[in-house]
Structure 1
Amino acid sequence: LLAARALPVTAALGLVAALRAAAPGVTFAVERAGGIHYATGYPPLHEEDPTVVGTTPVEELLAEDSPYAGQPLLKLLAHHRELAPDAFLALARSVCGGLGEITRSSPTALLEISAPGVTKASTLALHCARHGIAPGEVVAFGDMPNDLEMLRWAGRAYAMANAHPAVLAAAGRRTLSHQKDGVAVVIEQLLAGG
């Protein structure tokens, strides 16, 4: 781990309260530097692995005396079994008032919440600044809403053919789908001078 821009625990607790009030039935997981910890009711990451279902309230996972409290809090994950993914994202953004960056990358109603200002774009910008790389020199590929800020920041932005509609609208260029090796096709074109 080179750096961590942690989500403050007080913000995470505020997010939990706001989302519970706005979307009854929401469940949570906590992603720390040492791994993901599932709170009560959170579904397994993979349906074939039911052993990861949490039994600990999210407040205990976030508590100062939690066994994980010494690890930076990277993300709060929020999942809803019934809401449509984009509707859940819009609802969360409307009720969480700047407590964190809320996005999604899953085809399900799973939200990823990081500290305010922490996005793929801001992290890529920090990395590029350290290495003297200008935004115009960056090529980025995306397919889901969590890629939007990065695609707007990068000099060359490509949406995958199978991307979310918002990504297709935001990116200046398109490439083939994941299944057709769209990233590799563009890289080969760029290396050939295209």
Structure 2
Amino acid sequence: MYDVAVRDVTSRWQAHRGSVRALCGIRSASLGLLLASVGDDAALRLWDPRSGGQPRPRRAHSRIVRAVCPVPSPDTDLIAIGGSDGTIRLWDPDPGDDAQTCVLEGHTGWVRALTPVALADRTLLISASGDRTVRLWDPEARICLAVIPVQRPATSLAVSSRGLNVCVGSEGGLVALRLNPYLFQPPLRATGGQPSR
């Protein structure tokens, strides 16, 4: 941990075996702000940035984990992680809920980057993979909404503040995407009345 005020490293945290591949901040309803880390040991580790302590680590994948990001919700964040097996797994960070909430499948290569995006009044998830696709997911419905092919293996993602513009880093350069929020609105639910004519 680097303290900007004193311009020095104030603490070092060691727990992963092998390389740490990705980090992100998350909000836990019971633990507050946490730091999530993933890496070569297939573990998801949560850290308290104030003390350096960590709750019990979770075996997140069977193989290397390359990507992690929060999936915001009103009270707490879910944690999305992507690994070398091509799956995206969602976890609840709160103690006692040591449960994987779902597995999103579809990529045929490593999931290299993940980021949340707010579209049409809901939080969606974007993934970038070595299979040369970017996918848009609805984590609540547990479905893939769109598969966007790119020319080369995708390696990184960045989203604009309004969520409409997505920049994809790939082994061949950058690809800019613009998302149309009207394409991803949830379907209208029937209210029980008769349709108007």
Higher strand share: 2
Question: Does TM, normalized by the shorter one, top 0.5?
Answer: no
Higher helix share: 1
